[in-house]
Amino acid sequence: MNLKEIRKNIDLVDSKILALLHDRMELGLMAKKLKSQIEDREREKEILERIRKNVTGLINATFIEKVYTEIIKESKILQQRDYQLIAFQGEHGAYGEVASREWRSNLIPVPCAEFVEVFEGVESGICDYGIVPVENTLGGSVEQVNRLLINTALHVVGAVELPIRLCLLALPGTDYREIRTVYSHPQALAQAREFLSRNKLEPVQYYNTAGAAKMLAEKRPKGSAAIASKLSAELYNLEIVKEGIEDLDRNITRFLVLSREENRGEGDKCSIMFSTEHKAGTLFRVLEMFARQDINLTRIESIPNEPGNYAFFLDFIGSHKEEKVVTALENVREITTNFKMMGFYKERKIA
């Protein structure tokens, strides 16, 4: 190993340290939501004592204690700023995080391994908001998320239509001609199938697009690349070999923003959920109520709920201040079962 390779490994370790420090600060912000006060001397003492016991090898215990004292100090400073957290599914750099930044850039995105964890994080109060994808122009409905929406008491307070721009990412200095294998989520690989085939690149499925980028940066497999977001390239210090490699131009994912509280501001979009009786024409009667009031429906989705029973999701353009909207909703409530007002909100369409 020469000096250049050693320094490259040092840079890699430094990036891991920074990422772990970021993760630790996020956990501190989450912990703050569940405790009555920021200051906890006993907890700090416990942490420092455990660190002292685990110090081995080259590292001096006094040095490590100084480092962790500063880490704890910075964590408390961040907790005092009363940041609001928004949960998303995936690793940092996922398109859910991209959408959260487009919705409100002052929120702190918190990654969750599964969609159910996003819901649980908001329901428990650890996170102020959650953001989840509900449909994609190429992949269709995100059934797992819609099933979770059926039983949640959370409210929809916002929405984002995000164009999904797939990027081919590689390690800095990589000769693109040497790339043979590409890692990413199965859906992203499917959406870039023609590009991969044309360039004779072997697709390898990974659990998450941003996770593939993170793995590439950490494990550095030879002759490999990842398909992920532009944000992933920034976060994991990767180079964008080519942007916009999706096979079809119109690749848009719609995300809903969830909260324990209803939206108190203005809204020009509404989401509702309901079931209907097992009679011919019942769904038509619901749609007719909106047609009579000249209300534009933007989405209708059916999800199996119980055996022989379906839940319907319906979105439309309108405000709770409009008389025609109030009338339509009153009529729909009367002819449906399990009616739920999910929320009025504003939707952001990203160009």
List, by residue number, the catalytic residues. Answer: 253, 255
Helix (H, G, I), strand (E, B) or coil at 6: helix
**3-state SS track over 123-153:** HHCCCCEEEEEEEECCCEECHHHHHHHHHCC
Q: At what angle do helices 61-80 and 41-54 cross, to 10 degrees?
A: 150
Q: Cα 335 to the chain's mean position, in Å?
A: 35
Rounded to a whole number of angstroms, the CA Rg of the chain reads 24
Contacts with 188 (C-beta within 8 Å, 6 or more apart), sequence order: 166, 209, 227, 228
Contact predicate 165/243, CB 8 Å: yes
Contact predicate 87/121, CB 8 Å: yes
If phi > 0 it is left, if psi is from -120 to 50 it is alpha, else beta; for residue 142 that is beta
Contact predicate 299/314, CB 8 Å: yes
Q: Give burial (CB, 10 Å; 0-12/13-18/19+) of 241.
A: middle
Strand bridging mode 167-170 / 239-243: antiparallel
Question: CA–CA separation, 17 vs 218, rounded Å?
Answer: 12
Q: Tokens in use for 9?
A: 């490994």
**3-state SS track over 222-238:** CCEEEEECHHHHHHCCC
